[in-house]
Structure 1
């Protein structure tokens, strides 16, 4: 299996999901990722036991998907960076690393002496990577942010999916939604920076903000607004279909499940669709017989399609529509996504053995090399690799004990 980041060492000083997710992707690709966690508190995300109303930890075990997802494949070192005795250890780790990855705020970076200048003073060739809420410049450079604020709310997604006049704003569809998108973005930036360093010999400072990732995700409507030089008019979509195409949009089956149609060429797929759903008569109906008429009478056609879909259960339509060439998808819940046959056929639901020796499964990152699925290893327990990593730096047992007595290492 090709692991293109083999031989790259990443030193991660970060918490929660946004930046650690990038480290997980790099670990999937073969990098040696050393995660620095506070010697006493660890990554704050380890303390989240309930998220979005769900238990975040598997009962009776150490397995926590909220930790495993953004931290698989790493080694954890417990180090209190504010302790002077920890500084030589940190600097030795910096010397041996290709990438320094952090989401600490500017004030914390300055206090802990892990800002660009501090790290580059130890290793001038290191690629320095910052994940932030709102970017490294401007009045909000020192402000923290989460994906619900910087990505979802500020970045335009929340407004884009909340219907006009709604009583409540539509929330993100999953925990760490923007964080995971942002982590993948950071991983790509790091890969580009390492390539640039290999070609030019010059290391980069890489910045990715949740707000920037949010705006990138909604760029179509943002770009349209920029062209219009003002807010876009609010359009209320038709109940079914689109304004000119009955084969675009969501339709509900008789058992309350949804089917999403996205056949952007209605004239091409209308006759096939009518045959599949048992309404061949509609293909020859003078209201819909030609593409121009179908588009002009899309609202009427969409009402008919809605009635047809509502007449049979979800499983029926999944089987029937699978016979055609037109584009559509079943609207799946989280469990169904995990069982999706295409994801499983492509190795994108991956096996991993947890710290208790139990076989588990996680979503793999979507990038593959040479059609080979990534092989995942579990996330580390808190400070699990402190002794291993520090001994590899040449520290003796006596020095390790002294660091632990001082509270500088765990």
Structure 2
């Protein structure tokens, strides 16, 4: 069964995470994605290790775990497009492509005639998605942008970490490159919107996606907490600024997360906890009151949760309809029966390792399901086949260009 985007061809000139993440999503949805990399070195993340993938004998391969996370369902070709012959290869591939993704500095590709203004004359229907740190305009446009920096500059770190009056206080980044991931998702949404517009008008367009814009947009309720009050929210550790109780609590053998979203759930929790009086106490009876009196309520809950194990609390709270859960390490995540039932870990054939474990796509489409066709490719693994099939290059043409360093 063909994927939802099986008629779409994507040329992915991006590297690291945000752009490749968008390319992988499009590939998972069926698009034919060609990843263009630098000869010899390739995508920066190929070298971001350890860890590296090991084969069935336990020997390390050259494929980093980081690279493997974002490059499934792509073909890899190596082209030096700083040289005229390489630029011509890209232009010929653009003529056959629907989408181009790039994450070079603003204006970086113009020197090679590979910017949007140049390529739209080659293919007026081209959807050209630029992913940068700060966007195509503004005083920071020429700066390089990396996820960690943007988490700080964009305010996320000011909201993440222990409160100032707690031990270990201070701003903290999120444990994964979340801004890159969110930018990849927004880039994908923009590409899909542009494809729909093109189907209506026949026109391509330029998509300007910036990590900083995405980070600010995803501040969500915290941004509105500031905009409606003029007061910058403070760090609350694992607590929620607008909902109480909505945080972690100690148990007899670990931790328990409570995410109580309404007053009915709080009443049920109070009953299970052996303190039904809490639900009728005017200090705690409504969420608004609980937020105002969190400094009183939270210690009371903590004094109660330590007398049962995490599993005992979950066994009592789940039947009562009180949202709760453990804090799992990744070994427990991938052993979780729900994760297994949803098949969130897959394995694909790999030319070096025999098999590579991967995290599945979370998309479940009934008519056009995700297909896993190609493991993250080796550097330049498909250069010959793509150039011969797409551009009618002969083996001699390819050998000559490879000898000259173009491929």
Please state which band the TM-score falls in when normalised by the shorter chain: 0.7 to 0.9
1:371–1:272 distance in 2 versus 1, CA, 3 Å: farther
Aligned partners of 1:288 and 1:301 also within 8 Å: no
Is 1:11–2:11 an aligned residue pair? yes
Look up the match of 2:76. 76
Q: Per-residue displacement from partner, 1:304-345 (whole Å, max 9, x unpaired)?
A: 322222122223323333322122222222233333333332
Report the 3-state secondary structure (helix = DSSP H, G, I; strand = E; otherwise coil) of the residue aligned with 2:69.
Answer: helix
Structure-1 residue corresponding to 2:399: 401
Of residues 244, 251, 254, the one that matches 1:253 is: 251
Select between 308-317 and 207-216 the one with higher mean Cα deviation: 308-317
- The structure-2 alpha-carbon separation of the partners of 1:187 and 1:108, relative to structure 1 and needing over 3 Å to count, comes to same
Residues 267-278 of structure 1 mapped to structure 2, 5 A cutoff: 268-277=264-273
Match of 1:147 in 2: 147
> Cα distance, 1:76 vs. partner?
0.3
SS for the counterpart of 1:71 is: coil
Q: Give the deviation of 1:365 after TM superposition.
A: 3.1
**Which region of structure 1 is more displaced relative to structure 2, 38-47 or 268-277?**
268-277
| Structure 1 partner of 2:206 | 205
- Using the alignment, how far apart are the partners of 2:184 and 2:191 within structure 1? 11
Residue correspondence of structure 1 range 1-400 to structure 2 within 5 A: 1=1, 3-50=3-50, 55-58=51-54, 60-62=59-61, 63-150=63-150, 152-165=151-164, 168-174=170-176, 176-228=177-229, 230-232=230-232, 234=234, 245=244, 247-255=245-253, 257-266=254-263, 268-277=264-273, 279=274, 282-283=275-276, 285=277, 288-289=279-280, 294-295=285-286, 300-356=296-352, 358-370=354-366, 374-376=370-372, 377-392=374-389, 393-400=391-398
CA apart distance, 1:275:
4.6
User: Runs of 5+ in structure 2 lacking a partner?
Assistant: none
Rounded Cα–Cα distance in structure 2 between residues aligned with 1:79 and 1:120: 21
RMSD between superposed Cα atoms in Å: 2.6
With the length of structure 2 as denominator, give the TM-score of the two structures. Answer: 0.88
Q: TM-score, normalised by structure 1?
A: 0.87
With over 3 angstroms needed to count, the CA separation of the structure-2 counterparts of 1:318 and 1:91, relative to structure 1, is same
